[in-house]
Amino acid sequence: MNILVCISNVPDTTTRIKFTADNKSVDYTGVQWIINPWDELALTRAIELKEAGKANKIMVISVGNSTVEATLRKALAAGADEAIRVDAEALDSFSTASHLADAIKQYPADIILCGIESSDYNGSSVGGMLAEMLDLPSVSSVSSLEIEGGSIKITREIEGGRQQLETALPAVLVVQKGIAINPRIPSMRGIMTARTKPLKVITASAVNAESQINSYDTPPQKSSCRMIDPENLDELVELLHKEARVI
Amino acid sequence: MSILVYAEHRNHKFNKASYELISFGNKLAGDLNTNVFAFTTGTLAREDLKTLGNYGCNTILHFPQDVSDDEKQLSRIISDIASERNASIVLIPHSFRGRAAAPRVAIRLKASLAQAISGYPVSLKPMVVNKRAFSGKALIEETLVADISVLTLNANTFGLIENVVEPAIEVLSIDAGSAATRVIQSEVQSGKVLLSEADIVVSGGRGMRSADNWQPLEELAEVLGAATACSRPVSDEGWRPHHEHVGQTGKVVSPNLYFALGISGAIQHLAGISASKVIVAVNKDPDAPIFGAADYGIIGDLQTVLPRLTEAFRKHKSQS
């Protein structure tokens, strides 16, 4: 069973987000790039399955210019076997999914893993789009994945509960936290061997975006916090009822 | 041209998010001078179906076979109906299965997709929407360029607008095709308020001290009719289940009222709660960053403050 993990290259989640002067784009100067947290958990589960002898080859794939290669190398250092970079600009979810779909036709896998969203644009779209473009089944909000022989068992979250499912393969699984808890940190040996692992660069045909960001803004700041005396909580109830009108 | 709403239900009753989406669709239909259709799948009683009419939906398309569990099958059916009814806007709840189906529907319809929009569009022609990005650290305005838009809505950002009409119910007989996935087992709690669409969320952090101390928090949630939640350390420690984790890598919530109890307010937690209208924080540390994000703050120990809070809300409830 071969696993392909789709990786998004995102700013470190503790980054303070700044915009350019015209508010039309993000100012990425000085930003540290990381593997999108959910993609990292997907990769971690893939590595665990390989270590347990349940999966054979782990490939990672990302769309972007040469700056994403550092992130792909991190994935190789953590335990992936091969990396693919699609040399194109990820304009929006649609263009990203289109580029991934074209590449995956050349490098098929039994299980394709995507994080449930990326921590930059929070689009929650690439996995589902990719599955539809490849005409594959998909299962989303997956919190557990087991491989048993030639088939897989999945747990996914739904409103107010969860389900266990089986799916025909190949399939796209869109994963959330729970699939793994702590991301795999590359070992020194992993970092050394990552240098010799294959990182292929493939060219892409042009794809138009389906959406376009007009402007960025910072969320409105809260006015100061009104402190309530813990001995007088009726005041809080009164404020929530009459001032904030939320109860 | 028309507006199509996919209405979801849990245990054969529509979710609040579905009523909110119908309200939203009805406003779009008014502004675009067109009709709003609702589509739903699975077993539903006629009187439950008709409740969609309370928010202005005059045509309900009901497919009695439940296809909501298979993403490929569900999205094929939604997109076929959208094409047949010439829908220019398809509205889908931003739920687990809704957000999974929406991208597939968008690809099938060659539509633009915006997930988790915050409220009514800025413009309808062209379609321009507001969304959060960078896990709540930025707001963006986005133009959807395709002729058809598929939108999912962040819960509680539009609200319910009652507008009672007598809806026509059409029972659909369509070829459902076969499912690529098979559900082996489902566990769904019926009583609990859904975290994703709750008006009020009561959330606990490390300040709750241990897994055994949650009874008072659950009591407060019960008095308020609230959903319960927690911060990341709490779910990582196994004090509470992962599905309650609110924050950057957990759930993003948008209630009217959020209680942060013993939560210090790490940037990753704030990312998950910044869409809340009002935040109340209780913490014994007066310098906790949560007070910078809260509207109302109480400095104190939860062991004494929490039971008093519950008592104060109980008193309010009995008086109102």
pLDDT mean over A19-26: 96
Residue A100 gets the label, from left (phi > 0), alpha (psi -120 to 50) or beta, of alpha
Terminal-to-terminal C-alpha distance of chain B: 46
Taking all residues of chain A, what is their mean pLDDT, rounded to a whole number?
96
Looking at CATH, the fold of the domain delimited by B200-319 is given as Rossmann fold (3.40.50)
3-state DSSP of chain B: CEEEEECCEECCEECHHHHHHHHHHHHHHHHHCCEEEEEEECCCCHHHHHHHHHECCCEEEEECCCCCCCHHHHHHHHHHHHHHCCEEEEEEECCHHHHHHHHHHHHHHCCEEEEEECCCCCECCCEEEEEEEHHHCEEEEEEECCCCEEEEECCCCCCCCCECCCCEEEECCCCCCCCCEEEEEEEECCCCCCHHHCCEEEEECHHHCCHHHCHHHHHHHHHHCCEEEECHHHHHCCCCCHHHEECCCCECCCCCEEEEECCCCCHHHHHHHCCCCEEEEEECCCCCCHHHHCCEEEECCHHHHHHHHHHHHHHHHHHC
Query: Does A169 lie at the interface with B, CB-CB under 8 angstroms?
Result: no
Where do the CATH 3.40.50.620 domains begin and end in chain B? 2-171
Are residues B140 and A211 in contact, defined by beta-carbon separation less than 8 angstroms?
no
A 91-110 residues with CB < 8 A to B? 93-94, 97
Closest CA to A194 of A73, A61, A68: A73
Residue pLDDT, tens place only, B79-113: 999 999 999 999 999 999 999 999 999 999 999 99
Residues A237, B316: C-beta atoms closer than 8 Å: yes
**What CATH architecture applies to the domain B2-171?**
3-Layer(aba) Sandwich (3.40)
User: pLDDT-based confidence at B65, cuts 50/70/90?
Assistant: very high
Using the predicted structure, report yes or no on whether residue B32 has a pLDDT greater than 90.
yes
Asked if the C-beta of B187 comes within 8 angstroms of chain A's C-beta atoms, the answer is yes
Closest CA to A95 of B43, B4, B113, B281: B113
Residue B223 has pLDDT above 90, yes or no: yes
Sheet containing strand B296-299, edge to edge, reads: A226-228, B296-299, B278-283, B257-261, B200-204, B227-230
Predicted TM-score (pTM) of the model is: 0.95
Domain A2-214 has CATH 3.30.390.50: no
Res A220: pLDDT: 83
Q: Which residues of B touch A143 (CB under 8 A)?
A: 242
Phi, psi of B140 (to 5 degrees): -125, 150
Q: Given this model, what pLDDT does residue A120 score?
A: 94
The answer for B 235-294 residues in CB contact with A (under 8 A) is: 236, 242-243, 245, 248-250, 252, 256-257, 267-268, 271, 274, 277-281, 291-294
Q: Which of B140, B145, B313 sits opposite A237 (nearest CB)?
A: B313
> Taking residues A28-54, what's their average pLDDT?
97
**Where does the pLDDT of residue A15 fall: very low under 50, low under 70, confident under 90, or very high at 90 and above?**
confident
For a pLDDT cut of 70, what percent of chain A falls above it?
100
C-alpha–C-alpha distance, residues B64 and A41, integer Å = 38
Contact A93 B103 (CB under 8 A): yes
Q: Please write the tens of the pLDDT for every residue from B274-314.
A: 989 999 999 999 999 999 999 999 999 999 999 999 999 99
The answer, yes or no, to whether the previous bond of A230 is cis (omega within 30 of 0) is: no
Q: How many helices (DSSP H) and strands (DSSP E) are in chain A?
A: 6, 15
ipTM confidence = 0.96
The rounded Cα B56 to chain-centroid distance in angstroms is 20
At residue A118, what are phi and psi to the nearest 5 degrees?
-105, 150
In b/e form, how buried is each residue of B226-259, taking b as 16+ CB within 10 angstroms?
Answer: bbbbbbbbbbeeebbebbbbbbbbbbbbbbbbbb
Model confidence over B176-194: pLDDT tens digits? Answer: 999 999 999 999 887 778 9
- Sign, CA dihedral B18-B20-B26-B28, equals negative
pLDDT digits (tens, 9 = 90+) for A135-177: 999 999 999 999 998 999 999 999 889 999 999 999 999 999 8
